[in-house]
Amino acid sequence: MANQTFMKVLSNKELIKDVYEMVVEGDTSAITTPGQFVNIKLNKYQEPYLRRPMSICDYDDHTLTMIYKVVGTGTKLLSEIRPGHKMDMLTGLGNGFVYQNERSALLIGGGLGLPPLYKLAKELLKKDVEVKLVVGFASKKDAFYLEEFQQLCPVYVATMDGTLGTKGTVIDAINEYNLSYEHYYACGPLPMLKALAKFDEQHGSLSYEARMGCGFGACMGCSMEMKDGSSKRVCLEGPVFASSEVKIDG
Amino acid sequence: MANLHIVLPGLDLKNPVMPASGTFGYGQEFKEFYDLNKLGSISIKGTTREKRYGNPLPRIAEGPAGLLNAIGLQNPGVEHVVQYELPELAKIFNGKVLGNMGGHSFEDYVETAAILSKAENVGALELNISCPNVKEGGMQFGTDPATAARVTREVKAVSSKPVYVKLSPNVTDIVAMAKAVEEAGADGISMINTLVGMRFDLKTGRPIIANKTGGYSGPAILPIALRMVYQVSQAVDIPVIGMGGISSGRDAIEMMIAGASAVEVGCANLIDPYACPKIIEEMNDWLDEMGIDDIHDIIGLSHKY
């Protein structure tokens, strides 16, 4: 259930150029599963107007960690926020990754889609699931959080320019290392999610992103048409959908 | 505590604040946040004769103090709304609601109005003749006075409830539109819908919204809405429900001073799910500060100027 709360910024540090890790402290009780998200009002003014939806990298009973890239005015403002600042956040939004009773899981991240897989990896490991991560970046200079993941599970990297790991996509890395799994969980850009749904339609959970007006189902700004003709909101029924229910084309 | 009670055709409002159509769904998404019975009424997500999937994504962009949207009247169709959404809403909101509806032909409007007006908890219809985001219609009915008058007349003939016509600001003379629908029998006017706008991606030059154009709303349009409500409310004898960028009690009071008999709050619900109850509280505080003990005393207070 969604909750509005004010959270205190504990740290906000640059991991690599333009990619930041922010830790905030406060009421995290509304967050129940990895893959849920928060929606942040950056200041009390009308500019920037919309909240900024943000994935949750990690959380415990009083803190949560987010990783974001500075891509526009909103994330630029976010990067300038200092520890001690209290942020107006809607938390516990959306439906996260649901454990499918698999014994082995492959986590697949693309760029800034990587963060929510971190808490997922921790939770799956608690259930004694065998976890592997494959992550794709544009280039070596874009890679982040690899050491953090390596402390949890085997990590396979793909870069489009071949400067780190497999040259190519996450699917190229899966094929190169012949990575097996009973279920896969993916978060990343739309082309990656579509490619994965084609690659294995039956055994995946895909986390989508969309431009959102509200983040809690009111505006219908992020509705996606599903394979069966129904429509689902990325913010409310999603952001995680079964690979078997999403439209691969269109 | 001032008296906030307002009675309008089909609507008995304990206070003059209603969430605007399209920013509140059919109420279910807000019941987690607060008791909907705090609201004066609710304008439901606009419905149409047939189910509409809506526009492709992206449907949302942002501007200075505003939101550009092109949802495309996504809704499950009037029959589903009457059979399912409105009874579900009745479980969480005791009052009558505004049945917002759109269409793309006269027949569409008439058939939808006939069905929607029969719903028990619909107090009045709100005729959307001003949606900028559906290709074949909506707005075309709201930009020509003769067409707007005809759709109003035809809907009035079949509706068992009072009819408010929601006007578009995308016209040269909104007063002419208002007079036309008043003469055609409208029981009230609600205004304004969104202003047509665009944003572009700098790298590609492509419009950010998949529909290319969208409707702009939010605090940025408040002065435009105030001006139009000021003009229209003096030109017609039917009540005006004012909306456009209201995000505080102060804004709502100002809208009523401009001439609105009640207000709708749109975008603000999306930024702050508690916006409406906060606005109601703030209105009370403002009226106390102004030494006003009945909200009727501020409606059209500006008209002497």
The interface predicted TM-score of the complex, written ipTM, equals: 0.92
A115 occurs within a structural domain: yes
Q: Is the pLDDT of residue B45 over 80?
A: yes
Distance CA B260, CA B230 (A): 8
Look at residues A93, A114, A132 and tell me which one is the last residue of a structural domain. Answer: A93
A59 occurs within a structural domain: yes
What range defines the domain where residue A171 resides?
A: 104-242
- Each residue's pLDDT tens digit, A169-190: 999 999 999 999 999 999 999 9
Instruction: Grade residue A2 by pLDDT with cuts at 50, 70 and 90.
Output: confident
Q: Is the pLDDT of residue B131 over 70?
A: no
A70 occurs within a structural domain: yes
A250 occurs within a structural domain: no
Task: Tell me the sheet residues that pair with A54.
Answer: A38
Distance from CA of A117 to the nearest CA of B (A): 25
Task: Tell me the sheet residues that pair with B263.
Answer: B17, B242
Q: pLDDT at position B139, please?
A: 65
Q: Are residues A132 and A237 in the same domain?
A: yes
Q: How many residues does chain B have?
A: 305
Q: Are residues A88 and A121 in the same domain?
A: no
Distance CA A44, CA A49 (A): 9
A99 occurs within a structural domain: no
Q: Over chain A, what HEC string results?
A: CCEEEEEEEEEEEEEECCEEEEEEECCCCCCCCCCCEEEEECCCCCCCCCCEEEECCEECCCEEEEEEECCCHHHHHHHCCCCCCEEEEEEEECECCCCCCCCEEEEEEEHHHCCHHHHHHHHHHHCCCEEEEEEEECCHHHCCCHHHHHCCCCEEEEECCCCCCEECCHHHHHHHCCCCCCEEEEECCHHHHHHHHHHCCCCEEEECCCCCCCCCCCCCCCEEEECCCCEEECCCCCEEEECCCECCCC
The structure's pTM equals 0.94
Q: Are residues A129 and A197 in the same domain?
A: yes
- Each residue's pLDDT tens digit, A4-43: 999 999 999 999 999 999 999 999 999 999 999 999 999 9
Is A235 annotated in some ligand binding site?
A: yes
What residue numbers of B does the annotated binding site cover? 21, 45-46, 69-73, 100, 128, 166, 192-194, 218, 244-245
Find out whether B256 and B264 touch, Cβ atoms under 8 Å: no
Q: pLDDT at position B138, please?
A: 60
- Each residue's pLDDT tens digit, A114-160: 999 999 999 999 999 999 999 999 999 999 999 999 999 999 999 99
| Stretch (H or E) spanning B286 | helix B275-290
Q: Shortest CA distance to B27 belongs to which of B41, B8, B7, B47?
A: B41
Which amino acid, residue B240?
V
Find out whether A127 and A135 touch, Cβ atoms under 8 Å: no
B16 occurs within a structural domain: yes
Q: Are residues A79 and A110 in the same domain?
A: no
Q: Are residues A150 and A41 in the same domain?
A: no
Instruction: Grade residue A98 by pLDDT with cuts at 50, 70 and 90.
Output: very high
Instruction: Grade residue B137 by pLDDT with cuts at 50, 70 and 90.
Output: low
Mean pLDDT of B293-297: 97
Q: Is the pLDDT of residue B4 over 60?
A: yes
Instruction: Grade residue A250 by pLDDT with cuts at 50, 70 and 90.
Output: low
B151 occurs within a structural domain: yes
Q: Is B131 a catalytic residue?
A: yes
Mean pLDDT of B90-104: 96
Mean pLDDT of A207-226: 94
B107 occurs within a structural domain: yes
A53 occurs within a structural domain: yes
Is A187 annotated in some ligand binding site?
A: no
A94: left (phi over 0), alpha (psi -120 to 50) or beta: left
The enclosing domain of A60 has a CATH number of 2.40.30.10
Q: How many domains in chain A?
A: 2
Answer yes or no: do B33 and A2 touch at CB < 8 A.
Answer: yes
Q: Give the A:B interface size as CB pairs under 8 Å.
A: 98
Q: Shortest CA distance to B58 belongs to which of B212, B183, B169, B204?
A: B212
Q: pLDDT at position B134, please?
A: 62
Q: How far is CA B27 from CA B6, B55, B222, in A?
A: 22, 22, 24
Among the partner-chain residues A4, A49, A90, the one whose CB lies closest to the CB of B65 is A49
Q: Are residues A124 and A67 in the same domain?
A: no
The total of other beta-carbon atoms located within 10 Å of residue B88's CB is: 14
pLDDT top residue among B82 and B1: B82
Look at residues A93, A127, A156 and tell me which one is the last residue of a structural domain. Answer: A93
State whether residue B77 sits within 8 Å of chain A by CB: no
In this prediction, what percent of chain B has a pLDDT beyond 90? 93
Distance CA A98, CA B176 (A): 56
pLDDT top residue among B137 and A131: A131
Distance from CA of A40 to the nearest CA of B (A): 9
**Residue whose entry in the numeric block shows the structure tokens 């995946």:** A204
B88 occurs within a structural domain: yes
- Reported as half-sphere exposure (CB side, CA atoms, 13 A), residue B251 has a value of 25
Q: Both tokens of residue A30?
A: 């509304």
Look at residues A74, A93, A112 and tell me which one is the last residue of a structural domain. Answer: A93
Mode of pairing for the β-strands spanning B17-19 and A240-242: unpaired
Answer yes or no: do A217 and B25 touch at CB < 8 A.
Answer: yes
Q: Are residues A51 and A149 in the same domain?
A: no
Residue B248: its chain A contacts at CB < 8 A? none
Q: Are residues A168 and A127 in the same domain?
A: yes
Q: Is the pLDDT of residue B224 over 80?
A: yes
What range defines the domain where residue B268 resides?
A: 6-298
Among the partner-chain residues B22, B74, B273, the one whose CB lies closest to the CB of A231 is B74
Distance from CA of A216 to the nearest CA of B (A): 7
Q: Are residues A85 and A112 in the same domain?
A: no
Q: Both tokens of residue A214?
A: 């509200």
- Each residue's pLDDT tens digit, B229-264: 999 999 999 999 999 999 999 999 999 999 999 999
Q: How many domains in chain B?
A: 1
B303 occurs within a structural domain: no
A249 occurs within a structural domain: no
Q: Shortest CA distance to A204 belongs to which of A223, A191, A187, A217?
A: A187
The enclosing domain of A177 has a CATH number of 3.40.50.80
B212 occurs within a structural domain: yes
Answer yes or no: do A218 and B25 touch at CB < 8 A.
Answer: yes
The enclosing domain of B21 has a CATH number of 3.20.20.70
Instruction: Grade residue B142 by pLDDT with cuts at 50, 70 and 90.
Output: confident
Terminal Cα-to-Cα distance of chain B (whole angstroms)? 28
Residue B23: its chain A contacts at CB < 8 A? 214, 218-219
Distance CA A119, CA A124 (A): 9
Q: Are residues A51 and A159 in the same domain?
A: no
C-alpha dihedral, B197 to B201 to B202 to B205, nearest 10°: -80
Q: Are residues A198 and A228 in the same domain?
A: yes
Q: pLDDT at position A29, please?
A: 95
State whether residue B76 sits within 8 Å of chain A by CB: no
In this prediction, what percent of chain A has a pLDDT beyond 70? 99
Q: Are residues A119 and A18 in the same domain?
A: no
A247 occurs within a structural domain: no
